[in-house]
Structure 1
């Protein structure tokens, strides 16, 4: 902070202290006008504090670096875990609610008792700047999932010689079965591969070997992944991070 900034800050602090003192004895019209001014100043300061905390907190916003296997030719962390969203959360979230540009909530509840909230990761072990917290109260549906749309780059050059890897970090309040389903649309068909996440293990990584699929490599149009939550009633699920990559499978 330079000398001018210090001088201006001292003047502001003295002025605010005098406003507090005068508020006890001044006419109500003056107190009312100063209150409106103070509320405007507080809004600006709250905005500054929010932006400053975002920039100074770790991990750094926009971080898209994470460990990948040797030979990786595509790697990606979705926007939700990479940067701040315009809408931070939602209560009683209906089906087909979009969270950012790439993640969509699906369920068949008649009455939604689900809340979604993007949160700031601050733990030393966290590599992603942001996470997603989902609170599920009474659940009267038969399915609950998060669909993650891959970018177009994921389709380019994708072949049956690839492995697609998903590295999530998921915390649950109570034990919960979670499945990851990779979907690849090729022409009129959709190839689907399902893996259960090993949530009790030190690594929750799963791989999808396209070598066992019936993929038409020349007609790939879209790729997405579903995270499917089995029996999520009265549970809190926090997805701290989710990264995806692809690399060639070993040749035998």
Structure 2
């Protein structure tokens, strides 16, 4: 009953407040200047709080939902993952004049050899209806005097624990480019003193890019796997804007014949 009474009281207060501000708006052209000045100050204070609430509400209620891990996976996948940058808001959402080895979040690192960095990284909110990832990553490259540029995504322990040569590791991504460039994906698996590497070129003609790494073609020592990461290597990136709307990984055992 107490809760019902509070709700009724809130509704009554809200109705009176709306009626009051509607009346003030109607009479604004004829109100005396001292009253109008006081009402303007109060309206601005109220508007600041309302704008703040609307901004947060739009972000939280917009699709897709923050924290979403929903994405299509192979039916027999034994592991699937979306990195944190594409899953939820980061404490530091962006940086400019990005130096090599700078990290955005805990899993994404930028590497380059520029003498003077004109690179920016920024997490952005995905608001398109077709997006499944709540957030995306935008990289702006202006003048580029280096010889290489790569984004490194560290895979979590679950991604390489129990990894075998019978596994297929899959990467799905949605990428937007201001102008066409070549992008390569390189899987690195540290096993003992060696690092196995498999390189694939991305087919940028597709809306949904799928890259598969078949570990059967590697010399992986299954008993000594210590870590794994993906390099996204950008060729000729100058004066370009690259937006990674989504990035997900999964692995599955290869079908045995």
TM-score by length of 1: 0.86
Task: From 115, 118, 126, give the equivalent of 1:121.
Answer: 126
Task: From 84, 101, 105, give the equivalent of 1:79.
Answer: 84
Separation in 1, partners of 2:60, 2:249: 25
Separation in 1, partners of 2:237, 2:198: 22
Separation in 2, partners of 1:189, 1:40: 62
The residue that corresponds to 1:170 in the other structure is 175
Separation in 2, partners of 1:40, 1:211: 64
Q: CA deviation at 1:10?
A: 5.1
Q: Is the 8 A contact 2:67 2:88 kept in 1?
A: yes
Structure 1 unpaired stretches of 5+: none
Structure 2 unpaired stretches of 5+: 1-5
SS of alignment partner, residue 60 of structure 2: helix
The residue that corresponds to 1:221 in the other structure is 226
The residue that corresponds to 2:3 in the other structure is none
The residue that corresponds to 1:209 in the other structure is 214
Task: From 101, 108, 112, give the equivalent of 1:103.
Answer: 108
Q: CA deviation at 1:38?
A: 8.1
Question: Structure 1 residues 114 and 12 mapped into 2: Cα distance closer, same or farther (>3 Å)?
Answer: farther
SS of alignment partner, residue 148 of structure 1: strand
Task: From 156, 176, 195, give the equivalent of 1:190.
Answer: 195
Q: Deviations over 1:138-185 (max 9, x none)?
A: 111111111101111112111111000000111101001011111111
The number of equivalent residue pairs is 247
Q: Deviations over 1:217-236 (max 9, x none)?
A: 11111111111111000111
Separation in 2, partners of 1:96, 1:23: 62
Q: CA deviation at 1:88?
A: 1.8
Higher alpha-carbon Rg: 2
The residue that corresponds to 1:64 in the other structure is 69
Instruction: Kindly report the root-mean-square deviation, in angstroms, between the aligned alpha carbons of the 2 structures.
Output: 2.8
TM-score by length of 2: 0.85
Separation in 2, partners of 1:132, 1:23: 52
SS of alignment partner, residue 205 of structure 1: strand
Q: Deviations over 1:164-207 (max 9, x none)?
A: 00001111010010111111111121111110000013541010
The residue that corresponds to 1:92 in the other structure is 97
SS of alignment partner, residue 215 of structure 1: coil
